[in-house]
């Protein structure tokens, strides 16, 4: 391994190629950096900040930060983990995430990353936003209560499906996912259950109909092994409940 093409991640040498981000190189080497809005199949988005790492005392998003030789990257100090916990706690209170009642529980990246970071409670006051469920499409439902605004469905529909079914509207706390159709309903859009956008949601916001709870609770993807070992739901498309919708 040439030192010219390596950086250190928690004291471990990580090889990288020209154009890699820290996240790219880490994931390829089998080193886990927590993330939610990142999916290696798409251009980095840099919005959730869960992938934050320390470099020379500066916090950067590892999914957007270019790798360079000789970097000393901290991915595990207590301060950093606490920062991630705070971000996750905000995500939990901003939406309505009722894990025991969610079909994606056990195969949800938000839940799995929260477990990984040792988050024990939301800590902050719940916002309890008023959000809807769109069951207008024959094959797919959207529960906006669970959306974490990662924009993976937006990117998938735009860049892979070439349909632009989804977009984000509003700013700050008013940001929300919208369906681009005359009525604003999914059933009135060009969306199809075979679209890439139907298989990228890291949480239980975009769910297939007609196949609920196929994998029993207790034997789902992250029930079996932590996310640091098994990786994204996206890597387990044909596996189980984690895969039916999450990618
Ligand atoms: Fe991300 Fe899912 Fe929300 Fe789309 S519906 S923005 S994929 S959390
Ligand atoms: Fe890097 Fe979301 S995974 S900002």
Domain with 87 in it? 81-213
CATH no. for residue 36? 3.10.20.740
pLDDT of residue 243: 44
Q: Which of 38, 60, 76 is the last residue of a domain?
A: 76
Q: Is 153 in the pocket of ligand 1 (CB under 6 A)?
A: yes
Contact assessment for residue 164 and residue 180, using Cβ atoms and an 8 Å cutoff:
yes
**Co-location of 28 and 46 in the same domain:** yes
pLDDT digits over 77-103, tens only? Answer: 999 999 999 999 999 999 999 999 999
Q: Which atom of ligand 1 is nearest to the CA of 168?
A: 6
pLDDT digits over 101-133, tens only? Answer: 999 999 999 999 999 999 999 999 999 999 999
Report residue 233's pLDDT band, with 50, 70 and 90 as the boundaries: confident
How many domains, in total, are found in the chain?
A: 2
Helices and strands of the chain, counted as H and E runs? 7, 10
Q: Is 36 in the pocket of ligand 2 (CB under 6 A)?
A: yes
**Co-location of 92 and 28 in the same domain:** no
**Measuring CA to CA, which residue among 138, 50, 143, 131 is closest to residue 105?**
143
**Co-location of 128 and 111 in the same domain:** yes
Tell me how far the alpha carbon of residue 39 lies from the centroid of ligand 2, in angstroms: 9
Give the range among 23-27, 59-63, 173-177 with minimum mean pLDDT.
173-177
Distance CA 124, CA 179 (A): 30
Tell me how far the alpha carbon of residue 14 lies from the centroid of ligand 1, in angstroms: 31
Report residue 218's pLDDT band, with 50, 70 and 90 as the boundaries: confident
Backbone angles phi, psi at 152, to 5 degrees: -65, -40
Distance CA 25, CA 63 (A): 10
Tell me how far the alpha carbon of residue 37 lies from the centroid of ligand 2, in angstroms: 5
**Co-location of 90 and 198 in the same domain:** yes
Q: Is 47 in the pocket of ligand 2 (CB under 6 A)?
A: yes
Q: Which atom of ligand 2 is nearest to the CA of 34?
A: 3
Q: Which of 53, 76, 99 is the last residue of a domain?
A: 76
Ligand 2 test: best mutation among 43, 49, 155, most atoms within 8 Å of CB?
A: 49
Q: Is 143 in the pocket of ligand 1 (CB under 6 A)?
A: no
Ligand 2 test: best mutation among 24, 51, 88, most atoms within 8 Å of CB?
A: 51
**Co-location of 64 and 85 in the same domain:** no
Tell me how far the alpha carbon of residue 165 lies from the centroid of ligand 2, in angstroms: 22
- Both tokens assigned to 35: 């993330």
Distance CA 191, CA 218 (A): 32
């Amino acid at each position: 391994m040439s030192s010219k093409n390596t950086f250190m991640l928690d004291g471990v040498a990580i090889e990288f190629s020209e154009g890699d981000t820290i996240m790219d190189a880490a994931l390829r080497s089998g080193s886990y950096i927590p993330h939610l809005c990142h999916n290696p199949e798409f251009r980095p988005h840099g919005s959730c900040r869960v992938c934050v790492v320390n470099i020379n005392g500066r916090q950067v998003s590892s999914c957007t930060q270019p790798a360079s030789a000789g970097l000393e990257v901290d991915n595990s100090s207590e301060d950093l983990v606490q920062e991630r916990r705070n971000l996750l706690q905000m995500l939990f209170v901003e939406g309505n995430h009722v894990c025991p009642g969610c079909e994606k529980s056990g195969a949800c990246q938000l839940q799995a990353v929260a477990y990984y970071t040792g988050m024990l409670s939301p800590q902050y006051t719940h916002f309890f936003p008023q959000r809807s469920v769109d069951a207008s499409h024959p094959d797919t439902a959207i529960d906006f209560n669970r959306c974490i605004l990662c924009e993976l469905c937006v990117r998938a529909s735009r860049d892979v499906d070439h349909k632009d079914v989804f977009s984000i509207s509003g700013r700050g706390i008013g940001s929300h996912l919208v369906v681009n159709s005359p009525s604003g309903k999914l059933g009135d859009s060009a969306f199809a259950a075979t679209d890439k956008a139907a298989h990228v949601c890291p949480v239980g916001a975009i769910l297939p109909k007609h196949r609920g709870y196929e994998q029993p609770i207790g034997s789902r993807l992250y029930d079996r092994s932590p996310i640091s070992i098994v990786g994204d739901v996206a890597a387990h498309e044909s596996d189980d409940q984690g895969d039916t919708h999450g990618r």
